[in-house]
């Protein structure tokens, strides 16, 4: 039986190592970009760290499973959008909401009071041009050095990938929608 | 400005759609396989569903951020391993633990009392040969049809990928370890 070395646990090898905030990007066409960000948020919150989640494509009143749990444990999650994807066709309004939302998120990142700030689905407003990329990159570069930021969404811009410390691409190998199985409550929302 | 259609929300289009348990696989060499599974668990738990997480490579006493939070919200998470990756070199013992752990997980899946069962890092014991693949596939095929199962870990076996409803590959595009930045508490654990 061939035994392969499992991944090394760096935490234990470099106990006095450098601590600094990271830029993490979850991109690609597969599942798990947002849920992995939520898992990170949960982990950090479990370590007693201040965490804030902004969701650019969710309405403020969203009540999916994760919202119910985050509320229960006191982890702040805020929808910044107008449910554009299935309700609104008022693009100008959606664009303005995204821009207002970014102003909030930027202020939060720059304030440095949070260990982790999640910008969930920010790639959409970036791609649509609702939020300009330049100021986002500037904010990330100028942020207090202890602040971790996770950005999610398909088609992360190349400049953001270059700036990021860690980039993971979630690739869809197979999806149950293709086999005609629809969204399942409790799994997809 | 070119506006691209966001993903369609299937839940809203097919309100009376088929409900059945899914097999979801998170594989690949990137981050987010386990954290995305935790995010799914959190979401389902937030919907009031019974969820169980088994961790094949964590010790029962693991107290990472996610364990602290899951305990707080009453979501059951159980380490089945002996911390093999950095402590034990007693392979026979690790193998036996994994096999005992699988027996527990199999009983849980077959019992059908959980909406979602997570088999975190089960690809390791599968790859090492500690847990035989055949019985795992049989259990998944024979499980009560409402039970969702998420399996995580690198190098998912081809037969498992074929059986699964949804497979996501997390690919590492870039990682901060490569740039000499070590693991960050609250992010990596």
Contact B35 A39 (CB under 8 A): yes
Note whether A116 contacts B186, CB cutoff 8 Å: yes
pLDDT tens per residue, range B47-105: 999 999 999 988 888 888 888 889 888 899 999 987 655 455 678 888 899 999 999 99
- Indicate the helix (H) or strand (E) that contains A141: helix A133-142
* Cβ atoms A77, A67 nearer than 8 A: yes
User: What is the pLDDT at residue B84?
Assistant: 57
Q: What is the pTM of this model?
A: 0.81
Sheet strand arrangement including B51-55: A76-79, A51-55, A116-120, A148-152, A23-27, A166-174, B166-174, B23-27, B148-152, B116-120, B51-55, B76-79
Q: How far is B104 from chain A (nearest CA, A)?
A: 23
Strand partners, A152: A26
User: So what's the pLDDT on residue A123?
Assistant: 96
Task: Tell me whether residues B165 and A182 touch, CB distance under 8 A.
Answer: no
pLDDT above 80 (res A156): yes
Residues from chain B contacting residue A12 (CB–CB below 8 Å): 86
**In a 3-state reduction of DSSP, which class is residue A54?**
strand
Task: Check B179 against A165: CB less than 8 A apart.
Answer: yes
Chain B residue nearest residue A57, CA to CA? B6
Residue-level pLDDT at B49: 95
Report, as an integer, the average pLDDT of A128-157: 96
Contacts of A44 in chain B (CB under 8 A): 65, 186-187
**What was the pLDDT predicted at B64?**
85
* Residue A18: both structure tokens together: 């450098």
- Across the range A129-150, mean pLDDT stands at 96
Per residue in A55-97, pLDDT (tens digit) is: 999 888 888 888 888 988 889 999 998 765 545 567 888 889 9
Of A3, A32, A124, the CB nearest to B168: A32
Under 8 Å CB pairs connecting chains A and B tally to 274
CB contact under 8 A, B184 and A66: no
Q: How far is CA B23 from CA A187, B9, B53, B111, B170, in A?
A: 11, 21, 14, 16, 17
CB contact under 8 A, A176 and B166: yes
Q: What is the mean predicted confidence (pLDDT) over A89-109?
A: 91
Closest to A187 in 3D by CA, of B41, B146, B165 = B41
User: Residue B89 has what pLDDT?
Assistant: 66
Q: Which domains does chain B have, with CATH numbers?
A: 19-29+37-169 (3.40.50.300)
A-chain residues near B129 (CB < 8 A): 1
ipTM, interface predicted TM-score of the complex: 0.74
Region of residue B17 (left: phi > 0; alpha: psi -120 to 50; beta: else): beta
């Amino acid at each position: 039986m061939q035994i392969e070395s499992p991944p090394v646990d760096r935490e234990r090898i470099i106990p006095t190592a450098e601590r600094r905030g990271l830029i993490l990007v979850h991109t690609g066409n597969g599942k798990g970009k947002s849920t992995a960000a939520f898992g990170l948020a949960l982990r950090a919150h479990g370590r007693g760290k201040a965490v804030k989640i902004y969701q650019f494509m969710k309405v403020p009143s969203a009540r999916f499973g994760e919202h119910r749990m985050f509320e229960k444990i006191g982890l702040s999650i805020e929808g910044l959008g107008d449910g554009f994807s299935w309700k609104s066709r008022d693009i100008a309004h959606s664009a303005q909401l995204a821009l207002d939302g970014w102003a909030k998120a930027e202020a939060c990142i720059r304030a440095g009071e949070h260990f982790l700030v999640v910008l969930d689905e920010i790639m959409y407003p970036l791609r649509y041009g609702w939020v300009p990329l330049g100021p986002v990159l500037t904010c990330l570069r100028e942020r207090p050095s202890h602040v971790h930021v996770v950005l999610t969404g398909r088609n992360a811009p190349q400049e953001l990938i270059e700036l990021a410390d860690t980039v993971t691409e979630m690739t869809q190998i197979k999806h149950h929608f293709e086999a005609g199985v629809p969204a399942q409550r409790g799994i997809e929302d």
